[in-house]
Chains A and B, each alone.
Chain A
Amino acid sequence: MTALHFTEEQRDCLQELVNVAMGQASDKLARYLATMVHLQVPAIKLVDTQQLPQHFAQRYQQQSVSLISMGFFGDQGLRGEAIMLYQLANVDVLARLLEYSDDDSSEAEMLTDISSVLTTTFLNGLAEQLDNSFSYAAPRILSSRDQHFADKLAATAQQWQLALQVDIRYQLTDYSFHCDMILLIPGEAVLRLRQMLDQILASF
């Protein structure tokens, strides 16, 4: 078990940065889908990556889930992998909104497109507030309808020491849809992040 953690001040600071970044991503999603997104207070916590698959398997019991991953690389050792989780039961709603056809390849393309919009907007917003900048790997689908997502998440998560679990719910006002975002980051990046948060806190 790692000794890495955030103080209450650091957690509050990070949550506010996440809140601002989430607002920017929600605005982009709302414009993309031509609807309104209901924002909720984002919950963040640092968790051992080994606990992640079980946690999400419980949350998405008996539901098909698709996982889209995107690597990000910033200055000063800040890097990681952002994973979006979508309930496939909601995907049809999105497909109708965006006028995608309902075959599997179109579904994959749609989820990749939305993940790209959400992840890059969110992470750009976070990076800007940290006086940093990120570059991104192409998004990739980790699991589809036919694969068990918890196994795929376990395989991906084990490459990283820690997960910054950001419970972001993008709930559309007019439609039922939400997704989760997880940021997986290595231990040294958590240390860098803590230093950056301390610098922000010291300035106020």
Chain B
Amino acid sequence: MALNVLICDDSLLARNQLKKSLPADFDATIVTASNGLEALTVLQTQDIGLVFLDLTMPELDGVGVLEAIKAQALDCLVIVVSADIQPQMQQRVMELGALAFIQKPASADKLAAVLHKYGLI
């Protein structure tokens, strides 16, 4: 059964890049959001199993989304995909419950490695 996956990034290029870089054997139904507020709406109304989450976004940033997921006890895995590679930021998102951190730009190799590591493929 396909996993419902949300890709949240304010950049169309980044969303397309990530979508195209997912492994061919990753059975997923993809939905997208272009900022944190849109992402929360999707998470509150759809059964999403996995989120690929950017951090630097307008309206509500990725840290805000992680905080909301935690506060509302939303049941989903989150993989952060971000250009904000500072160690303190990586530590912060992991403390907020992110499963993994992938440095942008997301490549097929990086995605496959993380999905494999956590048994998602």
A: which residues have CB within 8 A of B? 9, 12-13, 15-16, 19-24, 26-27, 30, 36-37, 39-41, 129, 200-201, 204
Report B-chain residues with C-beta under 8 Å of the C-beta of A22.
Answer: 83
Residues of B within 8 A of A (CB): 10-14, 16-17, 20, 55-58, 82-86, 88-89, 104-105
Asked if A200 meets B86 with Cβ closer than 8 Å, knowing A41-B56, A129-B105, the reply is no
Q: Which residue of B lies closest to A125 (CB)?
A: B83
B85 partner residues in chain A, CB cutoff 8 A: 23-24, 27
A-B contact count (CB 8 A): 55
A-B pairs, 5 with minimum CB distance: A23-B83, A16-B11, A204-B16, A20-B83, A16-B13
Chain A residues with Cβ below 8 Å from B12 are 9, 12
Report Cα–Cα, A19/B82, bound state, in Å. 9
B96 CB, nearest partner CB in chain A, Å = 15
Assess the B56–A30 pair: CB atoms within 8 A.
no
Task: With a 10 A CB-CB cut-off, give which of A21, A30, A129 has the most chain B CB atoms.
Answer: A30
Known: A20-B83, A27-B86. A40 touches B104 (CB 8 A): no
Which residues of the partner chain A approach B58 to less than 8 Å between Cβ atoms?
41
Q: In the complex, which residues of chain B have a beta carbon less than 8 angstroms from the beta carbon of A200?
A: 13
